[in-house]
Amino acid sequence: MSTDKNSDEFYAKLKGRLEETTNWPAEYLYKFIVPSDADKINQIEQIFDNMGAVISTKASSKGTYTSVSINLRMKNPDAVIAKYREVAVVEGVISL
């Protein structure tokens, strides 16, 4: 089974859950884990630039990875998923 098909199925399920559990527009919290590389962290921050996002980062205990939390108001589940897809191109990122 291809990765694209798996991710499409994942995003379809996520959209269904978001539609069922949330009244939109709503605050949404994104969480990502990325290798501790300033360029990679900056790439993620740039994706959410000029959106009024509150972004916080925390390095792992060994400093190998950094968690990036982003809280912002999103208009609908499609907008949430679009941002996940944008961040997915950052090498080494894990979406939680």
Describe the crossing of helices 77-87 and 3-21 by its angle, rounded to 10 degrees.
Answer: 150
| Residue 90 burial class via C-beta count within 10 angstroms: exposed 0-12, middle 13-18, buried 19 and up | buried
Confidence at residue 6, expressed as pLDDT on a 0 to 100 scale: 73
pLDDT at 73 over 60: yes
For the segment 59-80, the average pLDDT, to the nearest whole number, is: 97
Q: Is the pTM of this model over 0.75?
A: yes
pLDDT at 69 over 90: yes
State pLDDT tens for residues 12-35.
999 999 999 999 999 999 999 999
Domains (range + CATH), the chain: 3-95 (3.30.70.260)
pLDDT at 61 over 50: yes
Confidence at residue 84, expressed as pLDDT on a 0 to 100 scale: 96
